[in-house]
């Protein structure tokens, strides 16, 4: 019997992946760039066990048994087994497997749960089967963005150019301790499952959006280089602007999809307003927002601004509002933070 437990955090893309050039191999149209949260934050935890005595494969997600016939899961397993070390592991490839995974945050609510989940699963399985070398291309088979959660710190997913996808891998650009002053606040606007999955949304976008063609060809390549430079220099002003512009363009592309995919809601828009009014009020960019395929906001801030930003959020979005009064208004008073 072999048993391994792994933990993998969520990653937050600051330059978004949206659109595949190959749906089966999960090959993206553009490079993307993200920050992986720390192991104390939003994480997936997965235990995998193989034994000659298990009678069938089984998979539990958040305590509920799920179907093992999921093609993405099978693709990850197959890719790992293809890389087994023949000398010491060939026999174990026929053993049945039990997988038990849980997230410490809402699943499939646009909070990158599948990224953390598949990164964790592939990492645990790679240890179990003693597979060496790059495993990001395998994690990509589970969920594209999962390849970035294999590493901590600041990570780039290179779209690659080979047809078989072997060069579509993630690499760590800066380590976890590169910019310790950065903090990420996740504002959970709605934690229910999203209306349409990113897979469906992307497919629809690739088929119908003109703006996506412009974005992948003319915008993202330059933006990736610029954001890497900004993170390298710890230049929060450039980093924040690029992050917000890329989130906005990603959602513009979703809106340009026909029929459109709307992932943000009125509260998300109120958060965007709040951030811009506050940044203007402070005379510099203090907060950067980014939204994935859901209404929840991820805010990047510097540690020195954390307590003031938390007061701002509590002031603009008091917890005792009813559903029709989203927020208190965003006209900020100069005395508010004095």
- The residues binding ligand PMV (CB under 6 A) are 13, 16-18, 32, 112, 114-115, 143-145, 198-199, 292-293
Q: Which CB atom, from 115 or from 224, has the smaller least distance to ligand PMV?
A: 115
Q: Which residues contact 204 (CB under 8 A, 6 or more apart)?
A: 257, 258, 259, 261
How many of the other CB atoms lie within 10 Å of CB of 295? 24
Tell the smallest beta-carbon distance from residue 147 to ligand PMV (Å).
Answer: 9
Tell the smallest beta-carbon distance from residue 201 to ligand PMV (Å).
Answer: 8
Q: Which CB atom, from 194 or from 286, has the smaller least distance to ligand PMV?
A: 194
Tell the smallest beta-carbon distance from residue 33 to ligand PMV (Å).
Answer: 9
Q: Both tokens of residue 239? A: 């980093």
Distance of CA 253 to the CA centre of its chain: 18
Q: Which CB atom, from 205 or from 279, has the smaller least distance to ligand PMV?
A: 205
Q: Which CB atom, from 112 or from 275, has the smaller least distance to ligand PMV?
A: 112
Tell the smallest beta-carbon distance from residue 23 to ligand PMV (Å).
Answer: 11
Q: Both tokens of residue 39? A: 């192991």
Q: Residue 20 and residue 40: Cα distance in Å, rounded? A: 32
Q: Which CB atom, from 18 or from 278, has the smaller least distance to ligand PMV?
A: 18
* Residue from 167, 136, 166 nearest 11 by CA: 136
Tell the smallest beta-carbon distance from residue 166 to ligand PMV (Å).
Answer: 19
Tell the smallest beta-carbon distance from residue 113 to ligand PMV (Å).
Answer: 9
Q: How many CA atoms lie within 13 A of 14 on its CB side?
A: 29
> What's phi and psi for 284, nearest 5 deg?
-160, 165
Tell the smallest beta-carbon distance from residue 10 to ligand PMV (Å).
Answer: 10
Q: Both tokens of residue 266? A: 């009125």
Q: Which CB atom, from 4 or from 108, has the smaller least distance to ligand PMV?
A: 108
- Residue at token pair 């592939």: 122
Q: How many CA atoms lie within 13 A of 155 on its CB side?
A: 25
252, exposed or middle or buried, with CB in 10 Å at 0-12, 13-18, 19+?
Answer: middle
For residues 293 and 201, is the Cβ–Cβ distance under 8 A?
A: yes
Q: Which CB atom, from 72 or from 282, has the smaller least distance to ligand PMV?
A: 72
Coil/strand/helix, residue 25: coil
* Residue from 124, 123, 122, 168 nearest 30 by CA: 168
Q: Which CB atom, from 128 or from 170, has the smaller least distance to ligand PMV?
A: 170
Beta bridge partners of 28: 20
Q: Both tokens of residue 149? A: 């959660």
């Amino acid at each position: 019997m072999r048993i391994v437990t792994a933990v993998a955090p969520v990653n937050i893309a600051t330059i978004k992946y949206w659109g595949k050039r190959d749906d089966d191999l999960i090959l993206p149209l553009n490079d993307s760039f993200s920050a992986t949260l720390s192991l104390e934050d939003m994480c997936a935890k997965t235990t995998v066990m193989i034994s000659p005595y298990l009678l069938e494969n089984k998979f539990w997600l958040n305590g509920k048994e799920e179907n093992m016939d999921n093609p993405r899961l099978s693709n990850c397993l197959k890719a790992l087994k293809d890389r087994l070390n023949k000398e010491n592991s060939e026999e174990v490839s026929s053993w049945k497997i039990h997988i038990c995974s849980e997230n410490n945050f809402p699943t499939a609510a646009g909070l990158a749960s599948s990224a953390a989940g598949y990164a964790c699963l592939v990492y645990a399985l790679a240890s179990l089967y003693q597979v060496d070398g790059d495993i990001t291309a395998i994690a990509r088979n589970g969920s594209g963005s999962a390849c970035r959660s294999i590493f901590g710190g600041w990570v780039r997913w290179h779209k690659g150019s080979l047809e078989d996808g072997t060069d579509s891998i993630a690499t760590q650009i800066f380590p976890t301790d590169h910019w310790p002053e950065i903090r990420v606040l996740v504002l959970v606007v709605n934690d229910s499952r999203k209306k349409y999955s990113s897979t469906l949304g992307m497919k629809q976008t690739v088929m119908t959006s003109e703006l996506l063609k412009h974005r992948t060809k003319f915008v993202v390549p330059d933006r990736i280089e610029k954001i890497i430079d900004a993170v390298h220099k710890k230049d929060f002003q450039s980093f924040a602007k690029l992050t917000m512009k890329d989130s906005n363009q990603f959602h513009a592309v979703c809106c340009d999809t026909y029929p459109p995919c709307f992932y943000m809601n009125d509260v998300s828009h109120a958060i965007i307003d709040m951030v811009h009014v506050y940044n203007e009020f402070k005379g510099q960019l203090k907060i950067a927002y980014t939204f994935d395929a859901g209404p929840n906001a991820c805010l990047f801030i510097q540690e020195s601004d954390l307590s003031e930003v938390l007061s701002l959020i509590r002031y603009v979005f008091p917890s005792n509002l009813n559903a029709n009064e989203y927020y208190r208004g965003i006209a900020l008073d100069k005395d508010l933070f004095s």
